[in-house]
Amino acid sequence: MLNKIKIKKALISVFDKTNILDISKFLISQKIEIYSSGGTYKFLKENNIKVNEVSKYTKSPEILDGRVKTLHPKIHGGILAKRSLPKHLNELKKNKINLLDLVIVNLYPFKKTVASKSSFKECIENIDIGGPTLIRAAAKNFEFVTTITNPNDYQKFINEMKKNKNHISKKTRLELATKAFNEVSIYDMDISNWFSKIGNNKEKNFLIQSKIVKKLRYGENPKQKAAIYKNTSLLNNKNSFFNMKIIQGKELSYNNINDMQAGCLLADEINKPCVVIIKHANPSGVSKDNNLLEAYKKAFKCDPVSAFGGIIIVNGNVDNKLAKEISKTFVEIVVGKKISKEAKNIFQSRKNLILIETKTFKQFKPSKEIKSMSDAFLIQTPDNFYSNKKNLKFVTKKKLKLKEINDLLLAEKICKYVKSNAIVYVKNNSSIGIGAGQMNRLDSAKIGSEKAKKFFNKNILKGSFVASDAFFPFPDSIDVFGKFGVKAIIQPGGSIKDGDVIKRANKYKIAMAFSNMRHFKH
């Protein structure tokens, strides 16, 4: 492979004409011949750029309303020839084919055409054929040919040409070829996804486009590497994670982002003024109250030990009173719908505190949940389901009045975001005890109750409401609830021991509702 290749002839075919005159003028100034076709040829000609028309060079007219312009042996032969092989050079000479050293191409805006809800016909006509073919040919032959697909690379190319007397290095050719193949692969994925959608093909392959946005300091632990990648297959995503406004603080870490997602999704699901405190992707305290200062105090009281170093999600506005209260303890992040100027001034003294404003928490809502394996992916739709008053089935003698069910439903929503096995105690629109991530449900029930007694008082559980993320395999957890006077339980049901569990609930005069919805979270 030659280290440096001198540019003598160039082919230009672009939809996006940003800065194309600048680079064309530079090429002409260096006595480099330009070949072009269609709209690009017309544009360059109108701007007094000396250019050779492809159809005159190939002696083949553009046909089929411009669908065929550059698909010709005299074009692709000049791009694909191996210049180190005399046989290839002799074939070019025999067929009067010129070597093309530079290919500048960008593609029809297929994705934007689809996003603008254009007609089916317009979308089809914006599937570029000649462009990707030129790009692939030039990038394949990067040993001899330079490929540019992005206007942002024009100036870098010009600078290297000036520095090296119209030569381009092997390193640059390879970098540009890599970008080119990435561009074409993403373009093809856009088309494939669109065809799958219009064809209602539910058996389609899983395709994902992503672009690295930022490398993170590390992953969950310092020895793990991590980065943020943006899903480029989504256009004009109003709820993008990247739309949030970081007001102050250090850079977000892998764990920060993971924790924020859990808290923001829960706050959005509650859909009322509330405060959610998150620690290690688990809620440590949640309270729903129009008075957000009181909501924060009640959420904090649920587990003040775990709240230290946690993340505070406020589904509403953060004012100076709330900011002062939050500032009494160390927290990593505060997220609010709006943060007042006075509150910002209060938080300024905490230089490492990350302060974030976001208009909506929906930006954290994924369309798919993905976990990677050694050579495969586990993919599932998110658990966007929860109960309402109408779909609960009370299976015990004791029932609840409609107004009493609200705490039960809040407990279930919180439970969805607690790692399994999960038990959540709620009273008066606030969590009072949370048992998370145990290997058995009985331990979670005990841990949640012990925390409630520790941080409130020994009688706090009387009249409380409990949610379990899955059924009770045995009635032993019900004994824990009955001991403390729990008023009602919500659980999916479905255990072979359901009869024994219901019988035990009746013994303690506890109302129990089956939701028929499990909420495991691993």
Q: Catalytic residue positions?
A: 140, 280
Kindly report the three-state secondary structure assignment for every residue of 103-141: EEECCCCHHHHHHCCCCHHHHHHCCCCHHHHHHHHHHHC
- The rounded Cα 370 to chain-centroid distance in angstroms is 11
CA distance 262 to 4: 52
Residue 169: strand pairing partners: 4
Query: Could you tell me where the DSSP H helices lie in 199-250?
Result: none
Please say whether the beta carbons of 30 and 166 come within 8 A: yes
User: By three-state DSSP, how is residue 185 classified?
Assistant: helix
Nearest residue to 409 via CA among 393, 384, 386: 386
CA distance 331 to 353: 7
CA distance 212 to 209: 10
Please say whether the beta carbons of 59 and 95 come within 8 A: no
**Residue 195 CB partners (closer than 8 Å, separation 6+):** 201
CA distance 374 to 216: 22
The amino acid that residue 143 corresponds to is: E
Residue 227: strand pairing partners: 215
DSSP assignment letter at 497 = T
CA distance 187 to 41: 24
Angle in degrees, 0-180, between the axes of helices 292-302 and 441-455, rounded to the nearest 10: 120
Query: Which whole-number Å values give the CA distances from 2 to 32, 91, 153, 375, in the listed order?
Result: 20, 21, 22, 37
Q: How many degrees, rounded to 5, is the angle at CA 449 between CA 332 and CA 466?
A: 90
The b-or-e profile of 178-205 (16+ CB within 10 A means b, else e) is ebbbebbebbebbbebbeeeeeeeeeee
Nearest residue to 53 via CA among 91, 12, 96: 12
Angle in degrees, 0-180, between the axes of helices 170-198 and 130-140, rounded to the nearest 10: 150
3-state helix, strand, coil in the chain (%, to 5): 40, 20, 40
